[in-house]
A and B are shown apart, each in its own frame.
Chain A
Amino acid sequence: MKIAIPAKGQDITSPFEQRFGRTRWFIVVDADSRDWKAYSNDTNMQAVQGAGIQTAQRLADLAVDTVISANVGPKAFRTLKAAGIRIFMGTADTVEQALTLFQEGRFPEASDANVESHWV
């Protein structure tokens, strides 16, 4: 299982980011080995529109199969679903804590977007 978690910094101990499409970083963790790597999301963070779609596309290209996010909009949701990526909704102080809470089964799986679109 390859899990992507939005982060405010490029470390597993970095603060958890509440936004999905416009997060600055993603920490992608291998659930079995707990190896992780940080990926910059700068390009999509500054996108005029479609940040959620592009971010979802990027995660699909990275062969991520699970996303933990506090919020996900309708277009990102549709793209993640098309990619077969499962979305678990929750929030935490740090990326590491989010991972632990997720692995304890504390985050429910999203069945729909939980926030409105926010195009310009």
Chain B
Amino acid sequence: MKKRFNIAIASGKGGTGKTTVAVNLAVVLADLGKCVQYLDCDVEEPNGHIFLKPDITSRSAVTVSIPEVNEEKCNGCGVCASICEYKAIAVIKDKVLIFPELCHSCGACSLLCPEDALVEVDNEVGELETGESQGIRFAQGRLNIGQIAAPAVIKAVKEAAQDCDIVILDCPPGTSCNVIEAVKDADLVILVTEPTPFGLNDLYLAVEMTKALAKPFGVIINRYDIGDDEVINYCNRENIDIFMKIPDDRRIAEAYARGDLVIKSNEWLNELFASLWDRIRIYLEKVSADHNGDFEKRKTEAGT
């Protein structure tokens, strides 16, 4: 399988336009002849399907392992409860109580049970759907209501990626485990923000996360002509690349509200998104040149 290029579209703040960027970028790239896989990793609220309108051809359950006790073997020793990092097991009056909603499926309890009384069983936490939308390969995950194991569903979505040139990962908002799961395999992270104090605060958190994961990244400022200049000042101060600025334009809101792709309803937006890809390529060349530069420098320092 050839190397796929993974682009994660993330944000600190919710509602800044991640999905708008992700679906429109996916279609622009497909129009340029690229083989594109779109992955909706926002499994608590997948909404890319509204715009891509895919034909879903396959559905499957996403499961995690949870322990189940064999009461004939269990002697109530309490080892399982004492080693459970997530407090998902209690042993009361020699009886094991398991709380699946707290379980992180680490498997330690069944591994360490001295009586071999715990077995791992499948617990359904969500659903994976795959299909196609106008040549774009589509996959989305949906976490079941009341479940918290979002990373497991996100993992299943990522594993559903098919052979292609570019993978677009539409991430959940924030900087939680769910976002880390979606972003950690990315080759490039695009952080979508808005020029408001909330946007800036959450962009700052998202930048710190992205830096901690050592990912190349840039920013898209949506509705850049509202709010204030603090996001731009911050990006300039920190030498963060701004890949694109999307204006606050009623035509975008109208297309979005209809569930249309903004690039299909407005030619100038099509050009804007096509130029985003150019901008990304320039950035990647710069990053790779920097890396080679570092490499040359290290080689010199090492006297080779």
Contacts and interface: CB of A to CB of B under 8 A. Distances in A.
Interface of A: 47-51, 53-54, 56-57, 60, 75, 78-79, 82-84, 117, 119-120
Contact of B99 (A47, A48, A51, A75): A75
A91 B224 CA distance: 52
Nearest to B85: A48
A79 B97 contact: yes
Nearest to A79: B90
Contacts, number: 47
Given A47-B87, A119-B102, A79 B92 contact: yes
A49 B100 CA distance: 13
Interface residues of B, number: 14
B148 interface: yes
Contacts of A84: 93
B163 interface: no
B269 interface: no
B291 interface: no
A78 B89 CA distance: 12
11 contacts: A47-B87, A50-B102, A54-B90, A57-B81, A57-B92, A60-B93, A78-B97, A78-B99, A79-B92, A82-B93, A119-B148
Given A49-B102, A50-B87, A75-B102, 11 more contacts: A50-B86, A53-B90, A53-B97, A57-B91, A60-B92, A78-B97, A78-B99, A82-B90, A82-B93, A119-B148, A120-B148
